[in-house]
Amino acid sequence: MSSRDQIRVGETTIQYDIRRSRRRRKTIQLTVDRDGVHVAAPASTSSRRIRSLVRGRADWIGRQQAALRNVPEQRFADGETISYLGHDLPMVFHRSHSTGISLRFDGSTFRASIPTGLAESERHEKIRLAFVDWYRDRASRYLPGVVDRWWPQLGRDGTPRILIRNQRRRWGSCAADGTLRFNWRVMLLNPSLIDYIVVHELAHLTHMNHSPAFWELVCRTIPDAQDRRKRLREVSRALPF
């Protein structure tokens, strides 16, 4: 269940969205990204308690927003770099007489053919969508192998169903029927962080919550899970697109 609220702190108005979940038992999570301020809370959490938390973290929220303003957005310009599996790789564009954008990857460089008749006003969005399609396709081929690697330790009988989704604030989710959903943006990350995301979701097959038992299972499977979790949070705030 989602909702929006705002508070006034001094001369600043902080707007934030709230996502309440029955799966979240105790902790309230506060995050800041390009889309705004987000609160994830247990279903029973009152709006008053959330307002108090946001008010108490107002200085921290301001620092996070200031840091984000210093992170350049992905412009999809010729010669610019883009992340793939944690590596910043160059993009090379050239004009062609094709009717659509053609994108290929040679292992070290992204090469795109851009139609000569493509209006400049449409260029950025068309190229962005071409990359999104490419990442989604790669995710659909890469993630099953990662799941297969960890499945014997954390899985159940049978084969999991894996779906690739476009989610801005969630890296993945695990349904009660064992269906795994992953954000295509995982392909921007270092493989060690992708492993953490997969293990996190597979652990929900045993514990459909974030209880101490859940975290004990995750950390037993990946001993440095908390370090990876911290790095993932840092990376999440600076996603280029």
* Domain-embedded: residue 232: yes
Domain coverage including residue 16: 2-69
> Of 22, 39, 69, which residue sits at a domain end?
69
> In angstroms, rounded to a whole number, what is the distance separating the alpha carbons of residues 56 and 54?
5
> Of 36, 69, 102, which residue sits at a domain end?
69
Which percentage of the chain shows pLDDT scores above 70? Answer: 100
* Domain-embedded: residue 90: no
The tokens for 218 are 């995750």
* Domain-embedded: residue 84: no
* Domain-embedded: residue 54: yes
Same domain, 143 and 223: yes
* Domain-embedded: residue 122: no
For residue 111, what is the enclosing H or E element?
strand 110-115
Q: What is the pLDDT of residues 166-212, one digit of tens each?
A: 987 789 999 988 899 999 999 999 999 999 999 999 999 999 988 99
Q: Which residues lie closer than 8 Å to 182 by C-beta, 6 or more apart?
A: 139, 143, 162, 163, 164, 165, 171, 172, 197, 198, 201
Same domain, 60 and 148: no
CA dihedral 50, 66, 241, 187 (to 10 degrees): -80
Q: 5: which strand partners?
A: 16
Number of domains in the chain: 2
CA 115 to chain centre: 31
Average pLDDT over residues 96-118: 93
Q: What is the pLDDT of residue 72?
A: 74
* Domain-embedded: residue 222: yes
Q: Is 219 exposed, middle or buried (0-12, 13-18, 19+ CB in 10 A)?
A: middle
The pTM for the full model equals 0.81
> In angstroms, rounded to a whole number, what is the distance separating the alpha carbons of residues 40 and 20?
6
Q: Which residues lie closer than 8 Å to 97 by C-beta, 6 or more apart?
A: 115, 116
> Of 69, 87, 106, which residue sits at a domain end?
69
Q: What is the pLDDT of residues 114-163, one digit of tens each?
A: 999 888 889 999 999 999 999 999 999 999 999 999 999 987 777 889 99
List the CATH number of the domain containing 148.
3.30.2010.10
* Domain-embedded: residue 216: yes
